[in-house]
A = this chain, B = another copy of it.
Amino acid sequence: MGRWEPDARGRLEQAALELYLERGFDNTTVAEIAERAGVTERTFFRHFADKREVLFSGSAPLKDAIVDAAVHAPAAASPMEAVTTGLEVAGAVIQQRGASVGKRQAVIAANPELQERELIKMASWAAALADGLRQRGVPDPAATLTAEAGIAAFRVAFTGWVQQPKRRNLPELIRESVEQLRAATAG
């Protein structure tokens, strides 16, 4: 392997997910991930701070995309509609990530500490979405409540989708989940 490593990052991600699934997250070392990806440990650390970041580095750009889409939703859109627009964008991006999404989810489901990290990640999405709504002039508590409700709907949709990703379109499931939430709270 020369100094030029085409898509080293992608291969590291792929190798890490495979190893986490085979041996468990806790039992996998950075050295093993690098070896399977055919790169040096140093290359690993050029891309990721640690082995947990392999699972969570995709979150920040996703959060930015959600908030950006929500903030720039049509001016006439209600707060819940703006949130839904943002979450649909996230759904489309996640869907494009393909099979690695299901693998990542299986790794997280097998590890309580990673589940906690995922929970904290979703809370940070909700906080960022609430900020986005405030930028649209939505006052609190409506901004916080709408963002939290939207994230709850997203999580339900995502959980259903990741089990059978081929069967349904994630953005559609997200919109459906928001409708179900509306019906549930109206009851």
- The chain A residues found within 8 Å of chain B, CB to CB, are 78-81, 116, 119-120, 123, 140-142, 144-146, 148-149, 152-153, 155-156, 160, 177-178, 180-187
Contacts and interface: CB of A to CB of B under 8 A. Distances in A.
Contacts of A78: 187
Contacts of A119: 119-120, 123
A83 B166 CA distance: 34
B145 A187 contact: no
**10 smallest beta-carbon distances between A and B, as pairs:** A148-B152, A78-B187, A146-B184, A141-B156, A145-B181, A142-B184, A145-B184, A182-B185, A185-B185, A149-B149
A108 to B, nearest CB: 14
How many monomers of this chain does the complex have? 2
